[in-house]
Structure 1
Amino acid sequence: MTRSESVDVRKKVGAGADGAPAEDGDDLAVPVAHGRGVVRRFRSNRSAVVGVVLLLLIIVVTAAAPLIAPYGPAQVDISDRLSGPTPGHWLGTDTLGRDTLSRLMYGGRVSLAAGGLAVLIATVIGLPLGLVSGYFGGVVDWFLDRAADVLMSFPAIVLTIAIIAAVGPGLTTAMVSLGIVYAPRMFRVVRGSTLEVRREVYIEASTSIGSPSLLILRKRVLPNIMPAALVQLSFLLASALLAEVTISLLGLGALPPTASWGSMLGQAFQEMRSQPWLAVYPGIAIAIATLCFNLVGDGLRDAFGREQRKA
């Protein structure tokens, strides 16, 4: 960049959107994606909209389980065990006579909350480390990148089970372990996006006028890597839900009498030959929720991606 170009860029950086000088300390961001355009393109994606609607419906139903569920999740009636659909039990009962519909509602709360906890931990760890690694580079970047390589070389479920074996079973322990295992995946996406943003002219201009690194990261880099982070977050939610189901299915996650979709599948396998329908309902719920997360992720990727190509 020549001296005249540097001065010109510095003038643009020091000015607001209307050409007026920016206020002291106001380091305006140059967002990659414009909100209205992204929302418009996302709404035009019918599959993504259907995914959002179904996902919101699942969240509302599971969150309102204490109000709308006909029975408690641990309410036992041995005299009515393994019954098919009846007026009193629309989806039948399990091996202990517990209402399948009620446990499906309560189980959804546990499974979705557990998956959300794992993704939250992965984001809290991976996002700031990815920003620091991609922006500053050097020894810190090399060390964090190698650590991510080591963690990602193991299958996520296998590494999670190994951590659970060392700490002890339990849903919270399992999801914290899964969050740690998923952190490198968020780290990689954020680091790669930060490396791209760091090469932009406005980052060089902000550095040349002496803007603090933390301010540049917060106001210029972070808004521009958020599209990629949001897309990765939606896909991680789908993966975390399936991981919770797998861990609970193995008896290392939700412990009795807590209901979750994974534990319901594990209990249904014991009666698979005589009552296969016990596994159908939680299986359908898991498939729909996972599909919705993936549809939303695809919609976000398409909406943000088109905006980035135009930027």
Structure 2
Amino acid sequence: MTGTVTEEQDSPPVPRARALLRRFLGNKSAVIGAVLLLVILVVTMASPWLAPYGPAQIDIANRVSGPTPQHWLGTDMLGRDTLSRLMHGGRVSLAAAALAVAIATGIGLPLGLLGGYFGGAVDWVLDRAADILMSFPAIVLTIAIIAATGPGLITAMVSLGIVYAPRMYRVVRGSAMGVRREVYIEASTSIGTPHLTILRKRVLPNILPTVLIQLSFLLASALLAEVTVSLLGLGALPPTASWGSMLGQAFQDMRTNPALAVYPGIAIAIATLCFNLVGDGLRDAFGRETRKAS
């Protein structure tokens, strides 16, 4: 029936997956970052089967050794294989960063949707709370929470997730406020569609590209934060291996074996760069779709 506004009408076109993939693959830097990141994830997650030694396995006869046929990257002060610890440590560091980002998303995403969509007093209260949390440097606030609750990797990442939640909230809130003014939202509201349904079927799918881009950048930031807290002895505790704890132990042995700090440092730099490259590629791909739609 013509002239009747339905919930399906006036909805923006959903970006086609093939077109987005083609744009992403057209960005060589993003593709290189994605491939390297995939390799890092596969190697680190499969470290229990791929690593030649256990992360805490000691070889007293080859303490502080350089690269050898038995230990490709050498050993540390306790005779532990550096390559094995690097692989296992990456698994811990990446999983910890993912946990922090998952917590930040679990808090910031629904609150951002509520604040951006409804506005008013709800938005004012949430926005002031975000302002307070974001007024402190993230790593300083994380260390303060850890100091109050006790050290440990899980505690550190939960604290970091809480600290990062306002960042996700701000991104989601701004995107939701923009979508709220669209014609298809007004059309859905005019025909009596419940707000929860509008949020789930109209608002969330259209801010999802922005959320995915923010996730990539947050993962890079969370990885560096995990390294920092573990380097300070507040994250991964012995004998657990992580890239941050490996750096902390390497600094103690810098005079005897400075190469121990090089390997985790390179791994951290490459992983962080890959997350940022993928984020840039996603932003470029989705950004082109947005400009075309507008």
Whole-angstrom distance in 1 between the partners of 2:121 and 2:7: 30
> Which 4+ runs in 1 deviate beyond 4 A?
none
2:5 equivalent to 1:11? yes
Give 1:156's aligned residue. 138
- Corresponding letter in the other structure for 1:145: D
Whole-angstrom distance in 2 between the partners of 1:211 and 1:13: 8
Whole-angstrom distance in 2 between the partners of 1:292 and 1:226: 21
Whole-angstrom distance in 2 between the partners of 1:145 and 1:49: 36
Residue-by-residue CA offset, 1:146-197 (whole Å, 9 max, x unaligned): 1000100101000000000000000000000000000000000000000000
Aligned counterparts, 1:257-268, within 5 A: 257-268=239-250
Residue-by-residue CA offset, 1:68-109 (whole Å, 9 max, x unaligned): 111100011222110000010000000100000000000000
2:231 equivalent to 1:249? yes
Give 1:102's aligned residue. 84
Aligned counterparts, 1:3-82, within 5 A: 8=3, 10-11=4-5, 13-14=7-8, 30-31=12-13, 33-82=15-64
Q: Secondary structure at the match of 2:169?
A: helix
Residue-by-residue CA offset, 1:268-309 (whole Å, 9 max, x unaligned): 001112211000000000000000000000000000011111
Aligned counterparts, 1:125-274, within 5 A: 125-274=107-256
Alignment partner of 2:104 out of 122, 133, 142: 122
Give 1:4's aligned residue. none
Distance 1:149 1:31, change over 3 A: farther
Structure 2 portions without partners, runs of 5+: none
Whole-angstrom distance in 2 between the partners of 1:281 and 1:52: 21
Whole-angstrom distance in 1 between the partners of 2:200 and 2:210: 16
Whole-angstrom distance in 2 between the partners of 1:202 and 1:218: 14
Q: Secondary structure at the match of 2:57?
A: coil
Give 2:269's aligned residue. 287
Give 1:275's aligned residue. 257
Q: Secondary structure at the match of 1:122?
A: helix
Q: Secondary structure at the match of 1:297?
A: helix
TM-score (ref. length: structure 2): 0.97
How many equivalent pairs are there? 292
Contact 1:33-1:224 at 8 Å conserved across structures: no
Whole-angstrom distance in 2 between the partners of 1:66 and 1:90: 17
Contact 2:5-2:191 at 8 Å conserved across structures: no
Contact 1:164-1:174 at 8 Å conserved across structures: yes
Contact 1:203-1:216 at 8 Å conserved across structures: yes
Whole-angstrom distance in 2 between the partners of 1:189 and 1:308: 16
Residue-by-residue CA offset, 1:44-87 (whole Å, 9 max, x unaligned): 11111111110010011011111111110001122211000001
Whole-angstrom distance in 1 between the partners of 2:177 and 2:8: 24
TM-score (ref. length: structure 1): 0.91
Structure 1 portions without partners, runs of 5+: 1-6, 16-27
Whole-angstrom distance in 1 between the partners of 2:275 and 2:178: 27
Whole-angstrom distance in 2 between the partners of 1:187 and 1:29: 24
Aligned counterparts, 1:297-308, within 5 A: 297-308=279-290
Distance 1:169 1:29, change over 3 A: farther
Whole-angstrom distance in 2 between the partners of 1:95 and 1:145: 50
How much does 1:14 deviate?
4.8
Which has the higher Rg, Structure 1 or Structure 2?
1
How much does 1:32 deviate?
5.4
